[in-house]
Amino acid sequence: MSEKSVSHRRGVTGVSSLAERVLELLSSGQATTRTELADLLGAAPSTISLTVGQLVTHGLVAEQGTRSSTGGRPRKVLRLGGSEGFAVAAELGGRHAHVGVVLPGGGLTDVSTVPFATAEGPEAALPGLAETLQALAEQHGRELLKGVGLSLPGPVDVASGVVTLPSRMPGWNRFPVQAWLEDRFGVPAAIENDANCMAVGEHSVRPAEIRQSIMVKMGSAIGAGVIADGRLYRGGTGAAGEITHVRVEAGHDIPCSCGNTGCLETVASGAALVRILRERGLDVATIEDVVRFAHDADPEATRAVRQAGRYLGMVLAANVNFFNPDAVYLGGILSTLEPFVAAVRSQLYEGCHPLVTQHLVIERASLGADAGLVGAGQFALQRALAHALQAVTGTGDAAPRPEARRGAARTDF
């Protein structure tokens, strides 16, 4: 291949990558003007204007009115072309699914919780969920459906669209979830690990200056999603954010679902709290029972919850010291318990260097239980945009990005 041809290919790839990033930021609502895009992407204004112009020409971006600017001309407001479209999304749990409609810009509507028997396997459980999502799509205009997003409580191989070795999803290993959804709905589908979905959803509603963050999901198990320089970071094999199976001294030889012993999950997760409180004589069978006892200020439950928060804080402190994020967000059902959150926060301040915590934001997820749903919908809309970019320019990449191609996206939650 000639040097000129190589140079041309690199140029096309660069434009395509930048165009995808522009579409992502407009889709999530993190940017609405050329100036904001240039600031977030660290690109020259002329480069951004050229890219936006190309997207406008192809109908993928539209200009809608202006916004006043201090010390300059009014800035044209950008939106996605055909932004009346939407995605339907679901976040799967053990016995229920959280479902809703996600709009470009991160809007969320028609949220509800429906029964979902994960343990029955995908072939038995998915058809009923698909009917629910189909009904949501019909309510908003089926012809406007752009994508379907699914947040899964297990490790996800994003490249092939399957769940891999999920310890809490019997029968789901290597099932082609993404392909099943695309065949059923006829639009692009995206599947992702639940902590990653929460990280992306929460990041989309936070101030633009927060570029590095860790979202910790505290449920039956524990996991984290990492945002680095404003984008989801998956790591070399897709395992970034894996903390639930970190060995901790307090775990001793307690068996873990991963087959090891002494993992953080065995002493700090919702499943661990159920086991601990049952051993102490409390009538608990689910994580919801733990939460109920703790909200009622039961002393045994409060003590166990606080200790679990300390163990999580110890492991998290090492990651915060290493990564030095702008923010740590706490989500999942255990984040509703103040003793748990207070213990995590206290341990971070105790275990991290003062320079690391000087401006560190430590808060519950502002989207609460909806963070994962928003993230799943954002992934679906972005996949739909990648397909649209490829269709109109022939240069977009509808496949997962390189950082997602070499492994599964972390842990069971």
Per-residue pLDDT reduced to its tens digit, 45-66: 999 999 999 888 888 888 887 7
pTM of the predicted protein model: 0.85
Could you give the C-alpha distances from 234 to 73, 196, 400, 401, 408, in angstroms and in order?
40, 9, 12, 10, 9
Query: pLDDT digit string (tens) for 139-153?
Result: 999 999 999 999 999
Pairing state between β 145-152 and 86-92: parallel
Tokens of 238: 């897709």
Share of the chain above pLDDT 90, in %: 68
Instruction: Give the pLDDT band of residue 29 (cuts 50, 70, 90).
Output: confident
Which pLDDT does position 395 carry in this prediction? 56
Q: Which SS3 state, helix, strand or coil, does residue 310 take?
A: helix
Query: pLDDT digit string (tens) for 355-397?
Result: 999 999 999 999 999 999 999 999 999 999 888 888 877 654 4
Query: pLDDT digit string (tens) for 248-259?
Result: 999 999 999 888
Terminal-to-terminal C-alpha distance of the chain: 48
Tokens of 62: 């539209």
Which pLDDT does position 104 carry in this prediction? 86
Instruction: Give the pLDDT band of residue 80 (cuts 50, 70, 90).
Output: confident
Instruction: Give the pLDDT band of residue 69 (cuts 50, 70, 90).
Output: low
Which pLDDT does position 73 carry in this prediction? 64
Instruction: Give the pLDDT band of residue 14 (cuts 50, 70, 90).
Output: very low
Which pLDDT does position 284 carry in this prediction? 97
Query: HSE of 214 in the Cβ direction (CA atoms, 13 Å)?
Result: 25
What backbone phi and psi angles, to 5 degrees, belong to 366? -65, -25
Q: Are the beta carbons of 327 and 361 closer than 8 angstroms?
A: yes
Q: Are the beta carbons of 213 and 329 closer than 8 angstroms?
A: yes
Query: pLDDT digit string (tens) for 209-236?
Result: 999 999 999 998 899 999 999 999 998 8
Q: What is the average per-residue pLDDT within 127-144? A: 96
Which pLDDT does position 6 carry in this prediction? 31
Give all domains of the chain, ordered by start, each with its CATH number.
3-80 (1.10.10.10), 86-199+372-404 (3.30.420.40), 207-365 (3.30.420.40)
Query: HSE of 30 in the Cβ direction (CA atoms, 13 Å)?
Result: 26
Q: Which SS3 state, helix, strand or coil, does residue 189 take?
A: strand
